[in-house]
Structure 1
């Protein structure tokens, strides 16, 4: 309310509805200034543009996550096979690769349907929500959230391993490098990196071209017979190579094959990225997205098959340190030790690093948008819906960076340790999308629905089998963590939604009803709880008076008798015009004492109690150190009492003290300037005079702060009325002309209109002028003098005019 604002900013009472020069523009905080220097100037909503992607650009921008997974999928299969199958692992990798390609084909075919039906972003989450309902869709939401976090960790760890394969000296520092890369990505995305930039498409084509060249050269060398395999038994730092004596039908071998298949499933992660950005394509969006999805699937299939075949031929063996990677060893063997060969090897590693880092960066685009969709459905906190300084979802970006960094540190940036956390989330999303699209076609039964139904049902079933395999064979390696997260977060999201829905239902019920008539209390009591006598207390008193209660009482709960006596002396000496009550609180339970006080007062049904709690505001960090939140506890407790309310009045102590000191310094400077043209005075007299003037300025400011206003308690000097103008105190009705100073301004809603209520005072009384349909009158501010002419009536014992003619005599002090 305007009058409340005036009570706090010093504009009430003494005339000054305008901001003073010191408040004309509040200085930016240190945090905001630092953020602006780091992230750049803030963007406005009109700059939230949309860029449409062509198919080649869309393939380059949206495919890094999916295509880059081929860089470590085959290696993960061999890590699972070598300890049990021995050298036979290099043969078993071929059928396992074929099975993985079959799963990939079904998933791609399923997502072809997704992008044609659901053009809006959201991918498998939207499919699950539309077909199974929002609650079941939270399984998919949690799966995707976990997937995005682990994707950052896996992609960055694998990219760093690619760099270490070319520069082994950096290997021991892989964790530090990974953390630095994640923080750099976080910083870049907070600045507003655009995924649709052409630079983000380069790694996709560079990696695909370099690896396909390696595969082609490897196949040619195999055909001509000069591609010689390694002997894994002579290599150092490899995973244990078993004897390979287990039969294919033994339990141990079956379990090993399932583990290897589960590891290889990591090659399929990221396929769903296109479905999350269908709306970014040029029209027709669905058809273009489907073309890009198929192209991505073909490229990924070629890379997985080619890398798997080269592993079979070259016997490249994974290392326990994580580097050199399987892909790096294949590139070294295929291209050879020549200068050209080494150059091509470095090109492959560079391309691998770039696409893996770019694939990790796609999560910084997908994760914030997913959290905003889920928060928009009221299953996540609504602060995830807010765009930040650079029109990005800053909170989600920071959350993703923190969790992925923690994961990298805990898992020592080891890809093999991170994979068990990876595929469960990915394949759960595949499962929900497959079954969701199957239900979609089965429900609508459009032309040709049967084969679409069976494709999606098969994709969902096979993905569910992969999830089950992962949960079983990878349980002790970290999959249990993902299962526990599902068990915690899915019910938590549903519970949060129940809270939001309950609030919404109550709000709709209240909004649909006729608002109750405003309460009429015969007595309004305002308590100002006083802990010490300071500027914050004076501001609270000022605000309490602006409420125009029946009675204002200051209260101090005594828990320290000596301190209470000092407060009594200060209060008496200051003579604020409000009595200070001392209430003994021997058990130091301030909240209970406040409740008892309020309950005793509201025992009378016609009484309403408002409790004012002054709060000294400091910087956030300093505030946490200096405040124990007792005021919040008291306010919460008092607000639960019928016919009671509590208000915390913050007061910027450092800022206000700075203003007072600046005014004191200005007063001294003005006094010095005035003396410049006068005969010289002894130095001690000038010092004494400057000090007295500065103290006088400060005292004057404190008087304005306290506002024991002449409008409330001090006797007023009567001013002789202007000719033709009657004193407000004598108005009893009829057409009259009055003059006075604007004391209070207030905008009041009336049905579908608004009324500007202006209260003026001429030392004999108060009169309220009601301007219907107005919310502002130029020049009419607190402190301005007005002449009003119109018919006056009496309402509530006070004269009132409706839409009078007005004349602005003098503006406010600061206008």
Structure 2
């Protein structure tokens, strides 16, 4: 009968570790698996959680278009060209939204472009989508947070704004990422409640700003922006006047404007987070996101056209900040208040836009890891049922990117759109193939939509790769070239391991387990202490045919001391000494075990005592010989290695506490337990023990005296119980 661990057999007397106590204090009580359904998102909550990435990109998409137009030397013409370029961007957005409507309808378990590519083109092609989306999510966090920090800085008085350094902006952005990571580690429901409100506030405030601007323009009192020093400018030249130069500038502007579409795919990557019916709810949220995003992008671009809001080289004040100041006016109390509200909601939506990646990236990593193309620890849910490992990985990577590039949106954009539009391309072509194969209702219309979206997205990828190559797109291309083969290589390793560990339950007839006429157990001994006692006790419990303790001699002084202590302890178990002149303990152990395991009908088990110390200091002060030996022995046929852990750390803490309270005396100053200045040493049973030849020998709590007493008791008990260890094995 299966027993539920943690309920039917819960023990309140088992102490929790300090790490778990800290985790519970920070993240709250743990959620059980049955509560996973309670973490699903409603449509309203999902729109707030999953759409900020796309909706918030409207805050900087227009500015990125203007930057390239002004750098190209188009001057005032840039404010005219902004409208047709925005129109092309919105046309691409409509195709992408229509394409992803089909994705979330068919693929309701989530995965988005990755699952579409995997199911229609195979797992290897799907890794292109996996790398594309992972790059997009990482860059999304960096871009959104950097833009949010710029919005905050734009609201500061000019006298303060001028003294804010790029490093200070980067530090603020990193702190925000850490806070966002913490919020998501508490679970997506808590994160959604906190992050959904800014989505609605920002959308409402910007729509009010656009409507107010339209009204003021209709009455002829919408002012123009008068730029100060530090604005983005370009020098007109002859190449700009010829067709090729003009086209190149327009393509760069369009590529920058493509950043407005990032985030649309987030809904498709988290369909399983929706409440049932998942596909229908995701479809409605996706359409709502597209309508809101299209309205905001069109309105902000029109305001830039009408007001001539101009971007600055430093990134502050932002274009949307200038528009808010011009539309509402900053010379009245109400106007200034509305301006501050715009800046506050812009910063909030940009910050929470990064939260979309904290929802999408862990789900994507989970899907890829389930297919064995990423480490499987990315499939594990954490303390609050979130994919904690994926959340932490995303935070680390995005912080590293911000630290390397700085909190400047224009420097981050070249890393941005290639990844997401590659995913759009695979999703479009994948769904086109799906419709062609399955031929469901209205499949021709759907095929045309998806294929058109795929072709258009591919064109955008090629444009971006060419016009942004020297600005940073080359690095993204390198990531693709290295990342995709790396994922395929990792999958190959998993498949090789799975072949070696083939599940015998899937075979028609499971093989008979090997039986041995004799079972030999070796206990490897390096010292006589309580860890050795625990290992010997476990070895006795196996009731082997032959039981021997083995010490590999690399120091004759230590070996002689151990021989005397072993004889004095009267263990009733033979202690063999094996010379190891070249000090290759693992090799020497393997030779001993293989010689025994090669005998007909003999199975060998090796017991290795391992002392558990503190994680950090223990690794510095002690080696991992037992693990190395076990790894070598595990490769020998008919042999197995078992590590018997002995917790030294807790006993050290107890002893230190006793010494601090005065109830236990420590060793003489400058000496380890067991090191004395010479002369007889009191033993545990009161009898004299000869002076040591040197070296640290634990006594008292865990030393040879205590160990000897324990071993003698074990030997007496074993003799009374007629232990199966043969007399030949006795000392």
* TM-score, L = length of structure 1: 0.77
How many angstroms apart in 1 are the aligned matches of 2:578 and 2:594? 15
Give the counterpart of 2:62 among 69, 74, 91. Answer: 74
Q: Which residue in the other structure is 1:267 paired with? A: 260
Deviation at 1:184, TM superposition (A): 0.8
Give the counterpart of 2:574 among 568, 576, 579. Answer: 579
The reply to whether residue 207 of structure 1 matches residue 202 of structure 2 is: yes
How many angstroms apart in 2 are the aligned matches of 1:225 and 1:447? 52
* 8 Å contact kept, 2:418–2:476: yes
Are the structure 2 counterparts of residues 515 and 286 from structure 1 closer, same or farther at C-alpha, using a change threshold of 3 Å? closer
* 8 Å contact kept, 1:660–1:701: no
Q: Which residue in the other structure is 2:600 paired with? A: 605
Larger Rg: 1
Deviation at 1:483, TM superposition (A): 1.5
Deviation at 1:94, TM superposition (A): 1.9
The reply to whether residue 91 of structure 1 matches residue 80 of structure 2 is: yes
* 8 Å contact kept, 1:239–1:320: yes
The reply to whether residue 385 of structure 1 matches residue 379 of structure 2 is: yes
How many angstroms apart in 2 are the aligned matches of 1:532 and 1:100? 74
Q: Which residue in the other structure is 2:211 paired with? A: 216
Deviation at 1:430, TM superposition (A): 0.7
Are the structure 2 counterparts of residues 254 and 510 from structure 1 closer, same or farther at C-alpha, using a change threshold of 3 Å? same
> Counterparts of 1:117-156 in structure 2 under 5 Å?
117-156=106-145
Are the structure 2 counterparts of residues 600 and 104 from structure 1 closer, same or farther at C-alpha, using a change threshold of 3 Å? same
Are the structure 2 counterparts of residues 706 and 154 from structure 1 closer, same or farther at C-alpha, using a change threshold of 3 Å? farther
Q: Which residue in the other structure is 2:667 paired with? A: none
Q: Which residue in the other structure is 1:255 paired with? A: 248
How many angstroms apart in 1 are the aligned matches of 2:614 and 2:584? 28
How many angstroms apart in 2 are the aligned matches of 1:456 and 1:697? 72
Give the counterpart of 2:711 among 706, 712, 717. Answer: 706
How many angstroms apart in 1 are the aligned matches of 2:38 and 2:257? 37
Give the counterpart of 2:490 among 496, 502, 505. Answer: 496
Deviation at 1:166, TM superposition (A): 0.5
Moved more, 702-711 or 627-636: 702-711
Are the structure 2 counterparts of residues 601 and 449 from structure 1 closer, same or farther at C-alpha, using a change threshold of 3 Å? closer
Are the structure 2 counterparts of residues 561 and 240 from structure 1 closer, same or farther at C-alpha, using a change threshold of 3 Å? farther
How many angstroms apart in 1 are the aligned matches of 2:310 and 2:237? 16
Q: Any gaps of 5 or more consecutive residues in structure 2?
A: 1-8, 665-681, 687-698, 725-731
* 8 Å contact kept, 2:111–2:270: yes
* 8 Å contact kept, 1:664–1:695: no
Give the counterpart of 2:223 among 221, 228, 231. Answer: 228
The reply to whether residue 411 of structure 1 matches residue 405 of structure 2 is: yes
Q: Secondary structure at the match of 2:38?
A: coil
Q: Which residue in the other structure is 1:436 paired with? A: 430
Q: Which residue in the other structure is 1:560 paired with? A: 555
> Counterparts of 1:570-719 in structure 2 under 5 Å?
570-656=565-651, 702=707, 705-706=710-711, 709-710=714-715, 714=719, 716=720
Deviation at 1:710, TM superposition (A): 4.4
Are the structure 2 counterparts of residues 640 and 116 from structure 1 closer, same or farther at C-alpha, using a change threshold of 3 Å? closer
Moved more, 394-403 or 281-290: 281-290
Q: Secondary structure at the match of 1:605?
A: coil
The superposition leaves residues 770-812 of structure 1 with CA deviations (integer Å, 9 ceiling, x where unpaired) of xxxxxxxxxxxxxxxxxxxxxxxxxxxxxxxxxxxxxxxxxxx
Q: Secondary structure at the match of 1:353?
A: helix
Are the structure 2 counterparts of residues 701 and 32 from structure 1 closer, same or farther at C-alpha, using a change threshold of 3 Å? farther
Q: Secondary structure at the match of 2:317?
A: coil
Q: Which residue in the other structure is 1:550 paired with? A: 545
Deviation at 1:456, TM superposition (A): 0.9
How many angstroms apart in 1 are the aligned matches of 2:170 and 2:280? 42
Are the structure 2 counterparts of residues 245 and 346 from structure 1 closer, same or farther at C-alpha, using a change threshold of 3 Å? farther
Q: Which residue in the other structure is 1:396 paired with? A: 390
Q: Secondary structure at the match of 2:74?
A: helix
Are the structure 2 counterparts of residues 523 and 136 from structure 1 closer, same or farther at C-alpha, using a change threshold of 3 Å? same
* TM-score, L = length of structure 2: 0.86
Deviation at 1:409, TM superposition (A): 0.9
The superposition leaves residues 705-753 of structure 1 with CA deviations (integer Å, 9 ceiling, x where unpaired) of 5376246754x4xxxxxxxxxxxxxxxxxxxxxxxxxxxxxxxxxxxxx
Q: Secondary structure at the match of 1:194?
A: helix
Q: Any gaps of 5 or more consecutive residues in structure 1?
A: 1-18, 670-687, 717-760, 767-815
> Counterparts of 1:440-459 in structure 2 under 5 Å?
440-459=434-453
* Structure 1 or 2: more strand by fraction: 1
How many angstroms apart in 2 are the aligned matches of 1:520 and 1:99? 74
The reply to whether residue 43 of structure 1 matches residue 31 of structure 2 is: yes
How many angstroms apart in 2 are the aligned matches of 1:247 and 1:551? 90
Deviation at 1:701, TM superposition (A): 6.8
How many angstroms apart in 1 are the aligned matches of 2:657 and 2:193? 53
Give the counterpart of 1:310 among 303, 308, 319. Answer: 303
Are the structure 2 counterparts of residues 662 and 79 from structure 1 closer, same or farther at C-alpha, using a change threshold of 3 Å? closer
How many angstroms apart in 1 are the aligned matches of 2:457 and 2:61? 17
Are the structure 2 counterparts of residues 575 and 563 from structure 1 closer, same or farther at C-alpha, using a change threshold of 3 Å? same
How many angstroms apart in 2 are the aligned matches of 1:439 and 1:334? 48
* 8 Å contact kept, 1:328–1:349: yes
The superposition leaves residues 656-701 of structure 1 with CA deviations (integer Å, 9 ceiling, x where unpaired) of 46678999999x99xxxxxxxxxxxxxxxxxx9x998x98999997
Q: CA RMSD in A?
A: 3.2
Give the counterpart of 2:149 among 153, 160, 167. Answer: 160
Q: Secondary structure at the match of 1:50?
A: helix
Give the counterpart of 1:348 among 333, 342, 345. Answer: 342
Moved more, 104-113 or 33-42: 33-42
Q: Secondary structure at the match of 2:54?
A: helix
* 8 Å contact kept, 2:569–2:708: no
The superposition leaves residues 464-505 of structure 1 with CA deviations (integer Å, 9 ceiling, x where unpaired) of 111111122212222122222222222222222233334445
How many angstroms apart in 2 are the aligned matches of 1:228 and 1:278? 45
* 8 Å contact kept, 2:49–2:355: no
How many angstroms apart in 2 are the aligned matches of 1:117 and 1:206? 32
Give the counterpart of 1:64 among 52, 57, 67. Answer: 52
The reply to whether residue 331 of structure 1 matches residue 324 of structure 2 is: yes
How many angstroms apart in 1 are the aligned matches of 2:375 and 2:543? 39
Q: Which residue in the other structure is 2:315 paired with? A: 322
Number of equivalenced pairs: 676
